[in-house]
Amino acid sequence: MPPKPRSQHPSPVSSAHPIAPLPVPALSIQPLNFAAEDPGPEGWKALFEQARAADDAGVDRLVVSDHVVMGEHLEAYGDPSAGGVEGGVQPTGPDGHWLDPLVVLSMFAASTRRTRLMTGILIAALRRPATLAKTAATLDVLSGGRLDLGVGVGWQKEEYEANGVPHAGRGARLEQTLEICQMLWREQRASYASDEVRFENVHCMPKPLQPGGVPIWISGRLGPTLLRRIVRFGSGWIPWGDDARRPAAGLARIQEALAEAGRSAEGFQVTSRVPIAVEKNGRLDLARTLAPVPAMAAAGITDFRANLRLPGRYEDALELLAPLSEAFREATGR
């Protein structure tokens, strides 16, 4: 039986509430915070119906994506040399509607109680570092310590140009952003100096509720630069491109790099998609969908992304997600 529906407007979570634990393995879903055409205010309300249903169904993590602007050269999404993925097709045209992920997650925080909230991904280098640190810390505090930041460099040159941020050197700029965020989250009195950013003896309050700050998941293809970035900043990895097809092999490389750097791999997280199987009548086939999950968990995958087409009504979304969540817990022994 699905859980009993509750009030649509739960009280906001205060900082006095305990930090939500990180469930491992975790089931995550990705409500679409974008649309090819304007769905209107009523259309966007489906996001919050889906979030409440996921929370009540026992889904562990809600993930939303990021685009600040869209250029007209969308073929770059299918070009690995530009940061895209081979054969990839951007899901909207240049006039697609993309809601800001941190604003959406703040709305989710106010309408859910336990589900973790994640960007997948946030193009973090487009945001000014101290402002991002403050925004993320605020969201973490108000959600009761439920935020995860998945970050990457993105694939669109136009997004950097529209923000007045150089596209060249964007990887180094991302690392500077993460370095400043973690410094402001962890240090009571922080100073920093680079060619682009300089400050002395600043205080950024409140701090995130989560010890050490908001967990950062690094997205991208594995190579020397990304491995160094993960070792330095990462609590998790979001595989991209060919690596997304072989996440366990990538995880082994990360574990080796962590060990070489003197970092423990304990608690490090990796996400991977769960292939969705449907029956002839179009209903979700739970047995076939979850069949690969035990082996994936044994290989070290911790976050299982089920990319489902979610109904817009709370009751329908709950009817879909509650059996999936229950079957996932059984498949993983949770």
Q: Which residues of 245-277 are buried (b: 16+ CB within 10 A; e: fewer)?
A: eebeebbebbeebbeeeebeeeebbbbbbbeee
User: pTM of the predicted model, to two decimals?
Assistant: 0.92
pLDDT in tens, 269-312: 999 999 999 998 889 999 999 999 999 999 999 999 999 999 99
Separation of alpha carbons 185 and 8, rounded Å: 32
pLDDT over 60 at 13, yes or no: no
Separation of alpha carbons 125 and 163, rounded Å: 10
Structural contact between residues 151 and 119, judged by C-beta atoms closer than 8 angstroms: yes
Domains and CATH numbers, the chain: 26-70+98-123+132-159+207-332 (3.20.20.30)
pLDDT at 334: 85
Separation of alpha carbons 72 and 39, rounded Å: 21
